[in-house]
Chain A
Amino acid sequence: MVYALFLLFVIIAVCILIEERNIRLIIYMTIFSLTASASFFFLGSPDVAMAEAAVGAFTTIFFVVCFEKYDDLKVDRLPQSVKKVQKNKKRWKALVLPLGFTVLLFGLFLYFMPDGEVNTYLKEQYLSRFMYEIGGENAVTAIYLGYRVYDTLFEALVLIISVIAVSHMSYSSKESVSDGRHSDVERSVVVVTVMRIVCAVVLLFGVYLIFNGHITAGGGFQGGLFIAIFFVCRYLIYNIYDLPIKKMFRLEEFIFFFTLLIVIFIVFLGVHAHFPPTFQAIYMVVMNLMIGLKVGCGFVILFYRFIAIERG
């Protein structure tokens, strides 16, 4: 099964390489994301599979909204100069050098690829000790909330930086934000009706993932992504830009500060390892909730700042 999926990856990558129409590119990307999600599941990591599925849905909607705002992106009008160049056979000569370079790099990778048994010392240590030291029953959640909590903090920081970057670039247009304004694009009745049903399920699933992340597959990141998708569905239904973005950004900063405090006073001081199991579970649920709210806020701000960019 995994082998078939991996063959599909290579085929889709080649399809993306030779495809010229924008809409089809996005469809291929969605298929790739879905296939990647399925193969993550077969590789034994349902956590990453759920994160990839959420990310695939989010990115696709981003592209679709981007196309909706600019009709010129949807219509694939190739400029005259490009068509002339495509007819010209010299373009094939220009491809030889990059192709050679790529094949050289791939060959170097194959030549230096390590062949042998993977070192499993750390894996065995983690798997045999995480239940007593961190708590919960999901080793992945235990690692990113306990052993490697630094990674989680810096990931949260990177997300804040990306939110600032998107806000900065969308402020560059003068008439960017006007609250409560409908966009002029008409919605399909089918989309609205289906979204009304789906969005409740999506929100419930996100909350479930956050609160059960330490026991089953899931966690703060995936739950936060699904909550962000709920707000994207809300935009698709009501077609309105009315969320208090600045307050949400303050909330995100506050949550990040609070997460830092929790980590400094509980994990770095070493108090956490001596907790009874009940408090360990409470710590994990609170941290998952913080991360979920933070990631959710971050992506909602990204999406709503993005749709605030106007044409012209």
Chain B
Amino acid sequence: MFEFSGGIAMILNNILTVAPILVFFICFFGLITGRKIIKSIILMAVMQASVVLFFLTIGFRSGISPPIGGHFEELQYVADPLPHALMITAIVIGVAVTTINITMLMSMFRTYKTTDWDIAEQKSMEDVE
């Protein structure tokens, strides 16, 4: 394999760790610039999945096996079970958050008849005035 040096080497060696964070920031960019509420909800769901991916890639090496089945011979080729246990709870909480988001969207759509952030904000300001 090629030998790189400096920051590029760090990125290329940890490409599996960098890719979920890249997805995370793409979604972040979409969240702060997007106009559609549905898109924002979906981007939040994808962000959550990318964070889960990031945690699972820590300590990854090729030929890794799941931490199931009792006695393990070589511990460095068994995946770390602690992030897995935490990420299962994180996924269940993530889908609960998505559900609340969709319910809020429908409640808002019933009031303002729009799925656009700016128009909804205008209408809510008109209501206040």
**B19 and A221 contacting across the interface, CB-CB below 8 Å:** no
A143 touching B81 in the complex, CB below 8 Å, given contacts A70-B106, A115-B14 = yes
State which residues 43-81 of A face B: CB under 8 Å: 43-48, 51-52, 55, 58-59, 62-63, 66, 69-70, 72-73, 79, 81
Main SS at interface, chain B: helix
Asked if A159 is at the interface (CB within 8 A of a chain B CB), the reply is yes
State which residues 11-25 of A face B: CB under 8 Å: 12-14, 16-17, 19-20, 22, 25
Asked if A95 is at the interface (CB within 8 A of a chain B CB), the reply is yes
Main SS at interface, chain A: helix
A66 touching B75 in the complex, CB below 8 Å, given contacts A58-B95, A295-B92 = no
Interface mask (A272-298 → B, CB under 8 Å = 1, otherwise 0):
000000000000000000000001001
Chain B contact-residue range equals 35 or more
Hey, which chain B residues are within 8 Å of A175, CB to CB?
none
**B49 and A32 contacting across the interface, CB-CB below 8 Å:** yes
Hey, which chain A residues are within 8 Å of B75, CB to CB?
120, 123-124, 127-128
Known: A36-B52, A148-B86, A162-B97. 13 other contacts (CB 8 A): A2-B60, A3-B15, A12-B46, A22-B38, A47-B66, A48-B87, A52-B49, A63-B102, A66-B102, A81-B119, A102-B32, A151-B86, A169-B100
A-B contact pairs, 23 of them (CB 8 A): A13-B27, A25-B42, A29-B42, A40-B52, A40-B56, A44-B65, A45-B87, A72-B109, A73-B109, A82-B116, A109-B25, A113-B14, A118-B80, A124-B75, A126-B81, A127-B67, A127-B78, A139-B67, A148-B82, A151-B85, A158-B93, A159-B92, A162-B100
